[in-house]
Amino acid sequence: MKKILITGGVGFIGSHVVRLFVNKYPDVQIMNLDALTYAGNLENLRDIENAANYTFIKGDITDQDFIERLFATHDFSGVIHLAAESHVDRSIEDPLLFIRTNIIGTMNLLNACRNSWKSFEGKRFYHISTDEVYGSLGDEGLFTEATPYDPKSPYSASKASSDHLVRAYRNTYKLPVVISNCSNNYGPNQFPEKLIPLSINNLKHSKQIPVYGKGENIRDWLYVEDHADAIDRVYHQGADGETYNIGGNNEWKNIDLIRLLCKIMDKKLDRKPGTSAGLITFVKDRAGHDLRYAIDSSKISRELGWQPSLTFEEGLEKTVDWYLENNKWLHNVTSGAYVEYYRKMYKE
Ligand code: NAD
Ligand code: DAU
């Protein structure tokens, strides 16, 4: 049986990718490698954990010996690499962790592919990356695959560095690779430190929603299952050595997005219109806060036939419903060690 290694598969995006692959490719063994950091949650895949073609492996991509042993034991036909430290605010607090996981971890995987794959025929290393590597846009323009890299936070610098390593391994060792750079994802299973789930969780508990600066920063939002579909296409149909930008064509100023979310929450929680918006609180801006991200995803659309399937309103409503229905999940991930961090960041 063919084996694909997916890293970071119990995290937010990874869990949707693993579920899609396990259900869609019953003849392929999907091996999910995850260190179970604060962001990794086995609950995210309870529904498929007993599937015959699914295996979970707890392990750390920064542990070189472990990664080498793993690749010596299994002949993976491909790697879909999502494991990372993913939150910009945390990278501002602890950049070294991001360097270790996102750069060293990626290099360990690249080395393991290079050293263990006897032939590169039929093999593929797929790196899941971010639009943040391109830096920040002004009022005009979109990031294309040709936009020069200009990362501005420790997180985006670590992702840019790992992208460069992936391309360097293709150029130097002919490793078959593909990269995609995606915009902001939202949907079920996202840890409630990111803007949308944090705001839903706070509103649910009638707590303030912290909006950085004046809320004028712009992000391009994509429903996570649409990203998983794009990843499936890039993995199976993307051309060797290519990069694909993935985005929702769906730009929102943070404050406008929060106002829309507040309206949905008032309706869902049966609160008087305007109740949730009353909890909006402008707080100190993020250091070095990128102003605007916007993606030109015409290449993946033209070459691989991919399009986002949901409107933002549909996706946001589905997301709110999921968080309101999954009380236990929310409670579990917001209690314990996370509470400490959460308090430190002044978000309560
Ligand atoms: P996440 O933080 O929700 O999940 C990351 C997962 O990686 C977790 O399950 C965690 O346990 C695991 N992990 C962390 N360190 C590890 C290590 N050393 N060894 C093994 N596993 C480890 O992240 P996400 O939002 O799902 O993002 C997944 C990937 O997609 C990341 O590479 C991120 O840069 C990229 N990305 C994210 C977004 C977004 O909007 N969230 C957008 C574009 C690209
Ligand atoms: O663009 C893709 C990137 O999107 C991914 O690579 C990252 O992994 C992912 O975390 C995300 O980064 P952002 O920094 O854009 O996402 P976040 O949800 O942290 O913030 C979205 C916007 O909202 C950003 O402008 C900062 C702002 N914000 C965020 C938080 C957490 C607030 O105003 N208040 C908040 O409390």
- Round the average pLDDT of the chain to a whole number and report it: 96
Euclidean distance between CA atoms 280 and 283, whole angstroms: 10
What atom in ligand 1 is closest to the CA of residue 41?
9
Of 159, 139, 50, the residue nearest 95 (C-alpha):
159
Q: Which ligand is nearest to the CA of 162?
A: 1
Distance of CA 82 to the CA centre of its chain: 7
Catalytic-role residue among 34, 85, 132, 163: 132
Site residues for ligand 2, CB cut-off 6 Å: 86-88, 130-132, 183-184, 194-195, 198, 210-212, 217, 219, 254, 286, 293
Atom of ligand 2 nearest to the CA of 159: 6
- Summarised one tens digit per residue, pLDDT across range 79-135 is 999 999 999 999 999 999 999 999 999 999 999 999 999 999 999 999 999 999 999
Confirm whether 303 is a catalytic residue.
no
Mean pLDDT across the stretch 166-171?
A: 98
Q: What is the pLDDT of residue 346?
A: 47
- Mind listing the pLDDT tens digit for each residue in 272-331? 999 999 999 999 999 999 999 999 999 999 999 999 999 999 999 999 999 999 998 998
Assess whether pLDDT exceeds 90 at residue 336: no
Strands 251-253 and 184-186 turn out to be unpaired
Q: Give the chain's domains with CATH numbers.
A: 2-187+221-251+289-310 (3.40.50.720)
Nearest-CA neighbor of 191 among 91, 321, 44, 93? 44
Within 117-208, residue ranges assigned H as helices are: 154-173, 195-204
* Distance in Å, CA 191 to ligand 2 centroid: 12
pLDDT at 332: 87
348 classed as catalytic:
no
Give 206's DSSP letter. T
Q: What pLDDT does residue 334 have?
A: 86
Question: In whole angstroms, how far apart are CA 136 and each of 2, 14, 217, 297?
Answer: 40, 26, 10, 17
